[in-house]
Amino acid sequence: MSGFRCGVCGKPHDDLPRDIAFRRPDPYFGVPEAERERRVRCNDDLCMIDDTECFIRGVLYLPFADGSGQFGWGAWAHVSDVDFERYMDAWDNGTEDGVPPFPARLASALDPYPGSFGLAVTVKLHSGGQRPLFTVVSEQHPLGVDQRVGITEDKAHSFVVRWA
C-alpha cells in the first residue's frame, strides 16, 4: 500500500502520510459562516469563539506497535480560559516546558474512533515551536488503548486512504 495523490497540493507522493491534521476545531464549523468574522478569532494554533470558548491545537500520537514510528492526529482541544492564558503567556516567554500538564477535551472528532469528540485528554506543552502533546485519559476508550498499546501501519493507512 504505497503512494497517493495529495488532496492539498495535488502532487503524487511515494508513501502514505503518517498524520492527519484538522485546520480548525469542530465547534468553529458550528458558527454560521456569516458570523465567523465577528465571533471567532483563530489562527493555526489557537482559536477562541465568542471570547469564552478556548481551543488549542496539538498532536495526539499513536505509536506503531512494531516500534517503527508513530501516526499523529493534529487535533484540537477545548481548554479552560485559565489554561489558555497560561499557554499564551508561556509561548510568549518561551517557558512552555515549565507548565504542568493540564486537562482538556478533544474538540476534533476523529472518525475512526466513535466518541472521540469531547474525550478527556491531558495537554503537555513543549518549547521550541512544537505543538502541545495530547494524551487520552481513558484506558478503555479505543483511542486511549491504541495510544498506549500501539497500532499497525495498515491501521494508520486505513485512516488516510479516504483522503488519498
Indicate the domain borders of the chain. Answer: 18-160
What CA–CA distance (Å, rounded) separates 78 from 123? 10
The number of residues in the chain equals 164
pLDDT in tens, the chain (164 residues): 455 555 556 666 566 667 889 999 999 999 999 999 999 999 999 999 999 999 999 999 999 999 889 999 999 999 999 999 999 999 999 999 999 999 999 999 999 999 999 999 999 999 888 899 999 999 999 999 999 999 998 898 888 775 54
| All three cell numbers of 93 | 516567554
| All three cell numbers of 12 | 503524487
Entry pTM: 0.88
